[in-house]
Structure formats: structure tokens, C-alpha cells
Structure 1
Amino acid sequence: MVSTYEVRPIATVVGGHTRVLDDYQGGVRSIIRLQEEYPLETLQGIEEFSHLTVTWRFHLARPEDVQLHARSPRGNTRWPATGTFVHRNHRRPNQLAISYPRLLDMDGRDLHVTDLDAVDGTPVIDLAPYFQQMGPRGGVRQPTWPGEMLDAEYWKDAAERP
């Protein structure tokens, strides 16, 4: 069994969110800038896709932020206490996230996107186009609390932030 695995960023988020926020993630434009070591040819054809699959690291999180126990999402006791791997935040051991931003434009190494819930300076670990056929198969099941937590304000337009 491998105990560690080295991963190097392939790109960096430029612009967009300037601080970590729980909500108002929508409508923010940012750039995913591919590192110079990767030839432009590695992006050839990506502009034909509407969305990307972006794996990124919560680079502002600290190792001591990891919480290996059940807890209510956002500390809201209206929602049930759930385990570490039931949350989608920086408190998980590898502090990684996956997002599906809309690709707006491409300019050389710069992929202009919107609705990427990462902050300026975030290291991008991996990047791929989103294929509908690779999304969930069959009906999707989940409890009510993720919808209550995220539908209300998570993807609200950032311009509406109080």
C-alpha cells in the first residue's frame, strides 16, 4: 500500500473569489491558468465543451482543520451529524475539491470560467472536460439537508452578497 502520493498543480486559479465564503459562489468569473511546462496542445479541443471538471486543493486550509468525527454541516444542529466523508469541505484529510465550472472562453493558457468555487491562487490538481455520460447513472438519492444548505444561497450571484 502506498502511504503518500505526490501531486503537483497543473494550473492556478487567477482572479475570481478573493476570500473563502460559504455562499454566494455564482456569477464570479475567474481564469484557470495552465502552467508553462504544459504545451498549449494539451488544451486542444477543450473549447468545444461547456463545462470542466476541476480538481483543486483547499490551499488556505491547515492540516489542523481536518476533523475526523461526525458533525452537523456548518455547525447547524437542524441538520444531522454526519461523518467526515459525508461533507464536501476542507475538513477532509486530503483537503481536495471537485468543481464543474462553465467554460466561457479560452485565450492561450487561460481558461475563462464562471461558477468556480475556488479562490484566487488556488492550485488546480487536475482538469478535464465534463462528459455527461460520466455523470451519475440512474436516479440520484440524497437526504434533504444538502438541498437546504446549498439551494438557498450557495450558488446565488456574488453580486447579491450583502
Structure 2
Amino acid sequence: MITLEPIGVVRGGRAEAVDDAWGTVEADIVLDPARLKPEATLGLTSFSHVVVVFHMHKVAEDKVETGARHPRERQDWPLLGILAQPARLRPNRVGVTTVALVSVDGLTLRVRGLDAIDGTPVLDIKPFITGFSPRGVIREPTWARELMQDYF
């Protein structure tokens, strides 16, 4: 068993999870001073983007998919295992998104493009470093490009 304790919470942005148009959505990540010291964000403003790891807490346990489904319930897209798609119905309901870092004010980060809703527990934040980006040719199916076309 692994137990994770959130380091902060998303405030603002959207109240409901919808599938598209996250690119202009701004929200604050308010970090918990009981978990982090004030200097935890020192140097973060040197980065244009951060990777946010969060828990999709509004997904009911009984809605979690452990097998296969059509992405977004679209029958014109292939039946795929849950691990072959970015759905929020994931086994551990963990989301990971790279977002633009708009500003840092102490333990409050303003971000753009975070596909998490108001009240979402934040598990971790890392600076986006290009050296950790994939190397070589990226392969993805057509349905994945279609799915992401209007997402951000």
C-alpha cells in the first residue's frame, strides 16, 4: 500500500471536468505550509513550465476502468485498454500535466493549461526540463491526435 498526502490544492479554473479547451484556463495551486517550507518554490520562476501530478478526486471509485473502453465513449475510435489512453477513469486516478507557469507568489503558483478542477489535490510539482523529454521519433495513432486536437 502506498499512501500519498497532497502538498496543495487547485483553486479556481474550472469547477467541472470537461474534455476540451483547457489551454487558456488559469488556476492557482495553493501549496500547504504545513507540508512545505516557504523556500520550496525558490528558483521555480526560472522555468516556463512545470509538471503537475494530481489526484482526480471527483472520479468515483466505482467508475474506475481496469479493462478496456473506447476513448470518450466514441465508437469510431478503437477499443483500448485504460493504460493505452489518457482517460480520467484510471486505476489510481492520477493525472500528470505539463503547464505554463504564469507566476509564483510564495507558496501559490499561478498556472495555465492545467486540466484539473477547483479543489483537486496536488501530489507533486516538478520543473519541466527538456532533457527529460522523449528522445527519438514519437509514435502515436491518429485517434490520439484527434483526441488532443482541441484539448488545449
User: Aligned to 1:101, what secondary structure does the other structure show?
Assistant: strand
- The unaligned stretches of length 5 or more in structure 1 are 156-162
Is 1:116 aligned to residue 114 of structure 2? yes
1:10-49 alignment runs, 5 A limit = 10-37=7-34, 38-49=36-47
CA distance in 2, matches of 1:71, 1:28: 28
1:4-153 alignment runs, 5 A limit = 4-37=1-34, 38-151=36-149, 153=150
How many residue pairs align between the two structures?
151
CA distance in 2, matches of 1:68, 1:113: 31
CA distance in 1, matches of 2:47, 2:2: 30
Report the residue type matching 2:19 in the other structure: D
Report the residue type matching 1:137 in the other structure: R
User: Aligned to 1:100, what secondary structure does the other structure show?
Assistant: strand
- The unaligned stretches of length 5 or more in structure 2 are none
CA distance in 2, matches of 1:64, 1:90: 13
| 8 A Cα contact 1:12 1:34, kept in partner | yes
CA distance in 2, matches of 1:89, 1:146: 11
What TM-score results when the alignment is normalised by the length of structure 2? 0.96
Q: CA deviation at 1:45?
A: 0.2
1:159 counterpart residue number? none
RMSD: 0.9
CA distance in 2, matches of 1:84, 1:113: 28
| 8 A Cα contact 1:65 1:90, kept in partner | no
1:7-63 deviation line (CA, Å, top 9, x unaligned): 000011110111110112120111111101211111110010000010001010111
What TM-score results when the alignment is normalised by the length of structure 1? 0.90
| 8 A Cα contact 2:28 2:110, kept in partner | yes
* Runs of at least 4 residues off by over 3 Å: none
Q: CA deviation at 1:135?
A: 1.0
CA distance in 1, matches of 2:15, 2:84: 27
- Greater mean alpha carbon deviation, residues 63-72 or residues 52-61: 63-72
Instruction: Report the identity percentage.
Output: 35
Q: Between Structure 1 and Structure 2, which shows a larger proportion of strand residues?
A: 2
